[in-house]
Amino acid sequence: MKNKFSLRRAVNNMNLVRFRFWFQIVAFLLIVYGGYAGLDLGNKLPTFACVYNSEGTGGKCYVGMLQHDLKHPLETFAGYAGYAFLISLGMFIVWFWVLNKGWCGFVCPLGTMQDWLSMLRGKMKIGYSEYSWANREKIKSVKYILLILLLLLPVMIANSVFGLPKLPNGLSMPFCDICPGRMMIPAFTGDFNQFYIDFSSKTDIVMTTLGMIVSGLFLVGSFIKKRFFCYFCPMAALQYIFSKPALLKLNKEGSKCTRCGDCYRACDMDILEIADDVTSKNLVTEDCTLCLKCVAACPEEGCLEAAFMGKTIFESTKEGFLLRMAMDQRGEKHGN
Amino acid sequence: METEHTIETPHQRQNRHKAMEAISVLNALKEDFKFPIQSMGYFYDRFEKVYCHHEPLHEGKAKIGTMCIQIPSEIIYALDAVPIRLCNGFSTDDEIGSDLLPQKSCPLVKATVGWFASDNFFDKPDITFSPTTCDQKTKAGAIIESFGHTVIDVGFPRTKESEESRHYWRESVKSFAVKLSKFQGKKLTRSNLERAIKKVGYVQSLYHKLTEFRKNKAVPILGVDMFLVTNAFFFDRIDEWIGAVEKLVSELERRANDGVNVAGKASPRIIYTGSPPIFPNYKIPLIIEQSDAIIVADETCSSNRMFNDMAAVDEWNLYDMIDSVSDKYLKGCTCPIFTQNDDRIRRIIQLVRSYSGDGVIYQAFAGCQVYEMEQRSVLAAMEREGIPILYIESDYSPSQHGQLTTRVEAFVESLKNRKRKKK
């Protein structure tokens, strides 16, 4: 009996920051360089495995694929293309259900890059900034607007919607054009070719310029604000639509919560609900990246937990908290 | 034959009275209960030394008076000073304070003011920080200042849900740190604050270990002893306190293994909430435990609230450490001065559940307006949950002992009946 519990105890006592750091590195290697080793996880991945990193990528991002799929005359969706589209979407959802938003917190290479920049900032002892709660609330809708645009624009290239003229072909991958991943990820394989402004048409000039600006913002933004880009990520918006039935969950037992706010302090996405909501069980909110830092920062026994298919895999414990905060012993470091 | 006649000075008389108050409570703790705990000896001695023999503990160190729990002790320790919490439980001081404050004021505040008025300390604070919590504490700061003490107000918000409150309090704590740092002529650094946060965290972890034992069916430690342990942290040398509590933890471990029960088999398990029992005002806790009930947990600022919620730091840099310490004293706090206080009700219910409490005793000091006002909502919530609760008003005077005993005994008896019926 004691053995059975000691594995669980070891997991609950783990140093989540270190575990996640290494997990992210492995995931980064697989996603960004996996292609060199022949890895191909398909093109429905719910994470930014960038198609522009054509040689190295270990799979392809579904958001890129999705824009591509939608650039067809509407009639074709009534037939074979419609099924193909649904199958693609279905495969994306299946991938997504495995890790839920954990794709963001543990796998996404753009997320990982932002965490590295935050780490660098921390090492330089520079404080981070936060959005005001009011602004935080306002920017929530940006990712949905981006999602709608990236769904709508490709359709409007192939079709005349509401009698409007068709859009130029330069908008066929509108989000990829402005996605910082297009520049940052290939750069890790030594390919800096994506840093350019395309002068071939007006649309291309605008879109590639926007892309350059967004990449600049990405670097500066995520240096001063943790996970700066994730607030605006349309992939997060797309994922959240299907998040409810996912297998990996972040659960909260509200009656055990003292609302001390430790979880909120740890949250890179400043999600207020994690601390203040004492009635919901499922705490995977729209901006959650399932990084589990909140679970690691919670000092209440069994208040927060990560569960896979209903089975607890990692939960908050007093002991784990004390170990992670190095408050478990007097230690010579603590002496007067 | 000639005998030497000396006339007792007011200070001597005050000290004699305080010593009498202190020793009678200490004797009750030591002698009125079965299975005394050996390692409690440290605490009995410490209180006797300080309150009966008036021996200072911190000579040569800067002593920082704090008027409430919200002044971060982490920052005080980091700056190499000693926090002295000035919440006072002596009836002698309460009487002195009564002349200076309105008649219907809180005895705790009166006692604190009385202490300063008589200027009779074992460890006199060099400077006092007063968080603006309840009206009476807030106004007491200015009165104490008029006696010639340095009192610095630290702005504390009375709502904790809002963003403004959080920012306001963080700024307050920063400005407190700056002022204290100037006063001490010492810089607050990453390493000294980190060390202090971890040390206070360890202190809290020890408290949590102690409380774990009280969840057992056979409770190895009395509630009044627990109050004494936590109250000692108001003024004790932190390292000695840590050492003593470590010993206490291991003794309780042994007692828990042996199934030692300081209460009776049928003793109702009480959750204590309300105005803080502060040594030597253990009137109600003593009556409860002398009436064959046992306090298994409490929700008061002289004990649980002081240790329960721990600071979590995300980035161990000064900016994040100060913010996390600030949040600890605001967000987790269940003080009734806050406008909304669902958290306190939820905490009490959670304590009843996890410590298998049979009932709640809610004690408010006559004159402690916020606790008196919150009584209705707590009573209503307990009724909803089906938890028996007794509400008592009392003060520091020793006069109502008989009447209080009758009420507590009746409540304990009803809990026993309830328990029997359940079986």
ipTM of the modeled complex: 0.93
Domain boundary among A239, A273, A306: A239
Domain around A317 = 247-323
- Number of domains chain A is built from: 2
Quick: pLDDT tens for A224-236: 999 999 999 999 9
- DSSP string spanning A234-247? HHHHHHHHT-TT-S
- Within a domain: residue A299? yes
Contacts of B309 in chain A (CB under 8 A): 258, 260, 262, 299
Whether A9 is in a domain gets the answer no
Percent of chain A whose pLDDT exceeds 70: 97
**B1 lies in some domain:** no
Q: Is A55 inside any structural domain?
A: yes
Complete edge-to-edge strand list for the sheet that includes strand A304-308 = A248-252, A304-308, A311-315
Question: Got the DSSP string for A94-153?
Answer: HHHHHHTTHIIIII-HHHHHHHHHHHHHHHTTPPP----HHHHHHHTTHHHHHHHHHHHH
A214 lies in the same domain as A131: yes
Residue A308, both tokens: 């896979």
Who among A125, A298, A334 is closest to B195 (CB)? A334
Tell me: do A113 and A59 sit in the same domain.
yes
* 8 A C-beta contact, residue B176 and residue B129: yes
Q: Are strands A304-308 and B294-299 parallel, antiparallel or unpaired?
A: unpaired
Given a cut of 50, is residue A336 above it in pLDDT?
no
Average pLDDT value for residue range B24-42 = 96
Q: What is the rounded distance in angstroms from the CA atom of residue B88 to the CA atom of residue A1?
A: 49
Give the structural domain span for B294: 10-422
**pTM of this structure:** 0.94
Q: What is the pLDDT of residues B76-126, one digit of tens each?
A: 999 999 999 999 999 999 999 999 999 899 999 999 999 999 999 999 999
Instruction: Answer yes or no: is pLDDT of A333 > 70.
Output: no
Instruction: Please give the pLDDT value at position B399.
Output: 84
**Which whole number is the average pLDDT over B172-193?**
97
Place of tokens 């029992």: B277
Handedness of CA A320, A321, A326, A327 (dihedral sign): negative
pLDDT bin (cut points 50, 70, 90) of residue A71 is confident
CA-CA distance, B278 to B88, in Å (whole number)?
Answer: 6
Residue B250 lies in a domain: yes
In a domain, A1, yes or no: no
- Amino acid identity, residue B423? K
Q: Is residue B316 predicted with pLDDT exceeding 50?
A: yes
> Using 50, 70 and 90 to split pLDDT, how confident is the model at A168?
confident
* A6 part of a folded domain: no
pLDDT at A331: 61
- Is residue B330, in this structure, part of any structural domain at all? yes
Residue B50 lies in a domain: yes
**Which of B197, B317, B329 has the most A C-beta neighbours within 10 Å, making it the best mutation to test the interface with A?**
B317
- Is residue A335 included in any domain, yes or no? no
CB-nearest to B202 from A128, A262, A329 is: A329
Give pLDDT, residue A4: 55
**First-residue to last-residue Cα distance in chain A:** 41
State both tokens at A151: 């769904």
Residues A200 and A263 in one domain: no
Give per-residue pLDDT as tens, B356-400.
999 999 999 999 999 999 999 999 999 999 999 999 999 999 888
Q: Judge if A112 and A260 occupy the same domain.
A: no
pLDDT tens by residue, A105-125:
999 999 999 999 999 999 999
Same domain, A189 and A81: yes
Is B339 domain-assigned? yes
Confidence of residue A167 (pLDDT cuts 50, 70, 90): confident
Return the structure tokens found at A50: 């960038």
Same domain assignment for residues A132 and A262: no
Q: Are residues A232 and A298 in the same domain?
A: no
Interface membership of B292 toward A (CB under 8 Å): no
Examine the domain organization and report whether A294 and A207 are in the same domain.
no
Q: Is residue B4 part of a domain?
A: no
Q: Are A83 and A202 part of one and the same domain?
A: yes
- CATH number, domain with residue A293: 3.30.70
Do A99 and A209 lie in one domain? The reply is: yes
In the DSSP assignment, the letter for residue B267 is P
**Order of strands across the sheet that contains B269-274:** B294-299, B269-274, B359-365, B389-394
Distance CA A313, CA B116 (A): 55
Of all residues in chain B, the one with the smallest CA distance to A125 is: B317
The answer, for B353 touching chain A at a CB cutoff of 8 Å, is yes
**Where does a domain end: A204, A239, A274?**
A239
**Residue A328 maps to a domain:** no
In a domain, residue B5? The reply is no
Measured between CA atoms, the residue of chain B closest to residue A297 is B312
Is position A334 within any domain?
no
Tell me whether residues A128 and B315 touch, CB distance under 8 A.
Answer: yes
Share of chain A above pLDDT 90, in %: 81
3 state DSSP class of B327: helix
Domain stops at, among A239, A268, A290:
A239
Nearest CA to B240 among B251, B229, B255, B250?
Answer: B229
Residue contact B198–A331, C-beta within 8 A: yes
Contact B163 A321 (CB under 8 A): no
- The two three-digit tokens of residue A199, written as one number: 């002068």
3-state secondary structure of B394: strand
What's the token pair of residue B24?
């009678």
What are the tokens at B70?
A: 């919200």
Give the confidence band of A335 by pLDDT, cuts at 50, 70, 90: very low
For residue A276, count CB atoms less than 10 angstroms from its CB and return exposed for 0-12, middle for 13-18, buried for 19 or more: middle
pLDDT score of A79: 82
* Segment B251-276, tens digit of pLDDT: 999 999 999 999 999 999 999 999 99
pLDDT for residue A236: 96
* Count of domains forming chain B: 1
A1-37 pLDDT, tens digit per residue, is 345 568 999 999 999 999 999 999 999 999 999 999 9
> Using one digit for the tens of pLDDT, what is the confidence trace for A269-316?
999 999 999 999 999 999 999 999 999 999 999 999 999 999 999 999
Confidence of residue A45 (pLDDT cuts 50, 70, 90): very high
Does residue A259 share a domain with residue A223?
Answer: no
Q: Is the dihedral of CA B328, B334, B338, B341 positive or negative?
A: positive
Whether the predicted pLDDT of B2 surpasses 70: no
**Rounded average pLDDT over A196-202:** 89
Site from B61, B167, B310 to mutate, A interface, most A CB atoms within 10 angstroms: B310
3-state percent helix, strand, coil for chain B, nearest multiple of 5 = 55, 10, 35
Asked whether residue A151 falls in the same domain as residue A192, the answer is yes
Measured CA to CA in angstroms, residue B165 lies from A273, B228, B305 at distances of: 17, 33, 20
> How far is Cα B100 from Cα A195, in angstroms, rounded to an integer?
75
CA distance A220 to A128: 12
- Asked whether residue B388 is domain-assigned, the answer is yes
ω before B280 within 30° of 0 (cis)? yes
